[in-house]
Every structure is written in structure tokens, then in C-alpha cells.
Amino acid sequence: MKIAMLSSIAWRTPPDHYGPWELVTSLLTEELVKNGLDVTLFATANSRTNAKLIAVCPRGYEEDKNIDPKVWESLHISLCLEHADEFDLVHNQFDFLPLTFSKLTKTPMLTTIHGFSSPRILPVYKKYNDHTHYVSISNADRSPELHYIDTIHHGIDLNQFTYIPEPKDDYILYFGRIHHDKGTWEAIQIARYVNTRLIIAGIIQDMDYFNQFVKPFLKVGEVEYIGSVGPEKRNVLLGNTKLLLHPIHFNEPFGLSVIEAMACGTPVVAFSKGSMKELIVDGENGFLAENMDEAIEKIKKTDQINRLNCRKHVEKHFSKEIMANRYIEVYKKILANKG
């Protein structure tokens, strides 16, 4: 089975720190290679893979602001689709734009929809609804206007996350983009109310938001912002906190940090939006809350969570091996029905 894996080029595949689409694409690609599939990864030239790498863009446009996203995305996607006939299937991890090439080749295309940035992109998905194949990353993120071949949750490399039976520190962790959607300000207020040190890790996606709602509260020992972190520091942070706070304001399609925390044994308190009900079993590996007041009350109960349950839940449902096996079954289904 020859697969063309089309990655995003915002960041390297896999990313040095932030880059969830590229991370998932990398984990899947490497696992497919382990399973004996012939995979060609279309990604940035500085990407790292055991698959064959084909690249036109030297590095991620988020890493090098001299790279114009629209220009290099066009070159990148067209390069892949111009070679589509050499493959049994094109797996698109790049959102909606590659769909516009899908009728120019006989090679079937599978698109993993990593979320909808806006309802305005739906017309493209709808146009190719009956021509290509869609996978959702959670049941919560499905559009009633689209047809899906399956829902496949993201998987992670459990070897990168150390299970910690007892955390070595007494802080609360916020791990994600600094943005209103992610509830950074709410995390600060909740941590201040329960009088617990908060560590904030993640890229600043909205600088005005950071300056207005985060920066005024920063104080060593109380609320600390440490920037975006790579895999090694991520493992330490997630494992040694008593809980991950995830007070989101949008219907999050998945939430990698949630399962990464649980892989370390760390329970999660999250606002009950989007995919959270598919990741968190309330009272077993964390708690779901409707608002800040409820989150505060749930935090008081996190000591009741068995940290081993958190790890086992991820092992059972969210490993990269499970993810890859489910995609392979989807590939087989598509190719069996080809033509």
C-alpha cells in the first residue's frame, strides 16, 4: 500500500514544540512505516521521518516569517497532488485546500478534518462530500452537513510520557495557546481563588489578549509564564503537576494536552465543551465543569482521582498504535471500494 501523507507546513513535522497537526501527522506516519506501509511524507524540508520525504518548502512559515504561507502552501500542495497517480491513496492532513485538486486525479483522497477554523470553509468540504472521504477527530467535531467514513481519535507516543504516581510539586498547569478560546484568564482566576501556583506554558497566539488578561497577573511563585516548551520539558511539567486546568471557551475538536497529561497520571479539570466528554470520564480521570465556580469545586476533589486510572485510560484508547491501526482499516475500506 503506497500512501502519500500530506502534512501542514506551518511547522516542521514533527514540531520542535508547538504544532499539533504536524505532531499527529508525524506519529501516524512513523507508525504506518512500522506496519510495513510504503509512505511518502510531503512536509517541510527540515522534517524528520523514516518515510520517504519530499519537500519544496525549506521550513515552517511560523518558524520563518520570510516564508509567505499562501505561496508556499500552493507549491507544497500542488507538488503532492501532481504526484498523486504514483500512490494508492493521498492522506490529506492539510485542511480544505487540497480537496480542490481531488478531481484532477483518480487517486482517492482521505482528509482528516482537524477542526473547522470557521463555518466559512464548509462550502469546500460540502462540494467534495461525495467524491472524497472524511475522518473526524472526535464525534463532537462532526458537521451534520458532511459524510464521514469514521471518527478516529488522536493517539500519542506513550513512551514520551512518564507515569508519575505522586507529583513532586504543588502547582496547577495550564498548557496550551494563550488565547481567549483556551481560557487563559479563567485559569489564572481559578488558580488564584484556590491559592495555588499556576504555571502557564504555550505559544502566545493573541498578543493583545496576553498583554491585557495575562501579563498583569504574572508574579513569580503565583502565576508564571514559561513560554512554549519542547517534549522533554513538557513531560516533566505534565507529570509533576497535581492537575491540568483546561477552561476552554470553544468546542475544541480534540485536545492533545488533555491526554498527554493523563498519560503522566495527571487528572484534568476542563470546561465541558467540544470533545472533552470523549476524553474525560468525569470522576475517574478528571472532572468536567460548566463554569469557573464549578471548576473550583471540582479541583477540591482531584485528590480522589487514582492517577493510575488516568494512565490506563490513555493506554486503552489514545495510543499511536491504536490510531494507526484504525487508519489502516480505513485505507483498506477506501481501496476496496475504489471505482
CB 199 within 8 A of CB 217: no
CA neighbours closer than 13 Å in the CB half-sphere of residue 131: 15
Superfamily for domain range 2-155+319-336: Glycogen Phosphorylase B; (3.40.50.2000)
243/173 Cα distance (integer angstroms): 6
Architecture, CATH, for domain 158-317: 3-Layer(aba) Sandwich (3.40)
For the chain, the domains span 2-155+319-336, 158-317
Question: Quick check: pTM over 0.85?
Answer: yes
Amino acid at 34: K
- Do β-strands 268-271 and 286-289 pair in parallel, antiparallel, or remain unpaired? parallel
Packed helices 292-299 and 184-193: angle between N→C axes, nearest 10 degrees = 50
What are the phi and psi torsion angles at 329 (to 5°)? -65, -40
Which residue bears the cell 498523486?
84
SS3 state at 22:
helix
Same CATH topology for 2-155+319-336 and 158-317?
yes
320/301 Cα distance (integer angstroms): 31
208/62 Cα distance (integer angstroms): 19
Over its length of 339 residues, how does the chain's per-residue pLDDT go in tens digits?
999 999 999 999 999 888 899 999 999 999 999 999 999 999 999 999 999 999 999 999 999 999 999 999 999 999 999 999 999 999 999 999 999 999 999 999 999 999 998 889 999 999 999 999 999 999 999 999 999 999 999 999 999 999 999 998 889 999 999 999 999 999 999 999 999 999 999 999 999 999 999 999 999 999 999 999 988 899 999 999 999 999 999 999 999 999 999 999 999 999 999 999 999 999 999 999 999 999 999 999 999 999 999 999 999 999 999 999 999 999 999 999 875
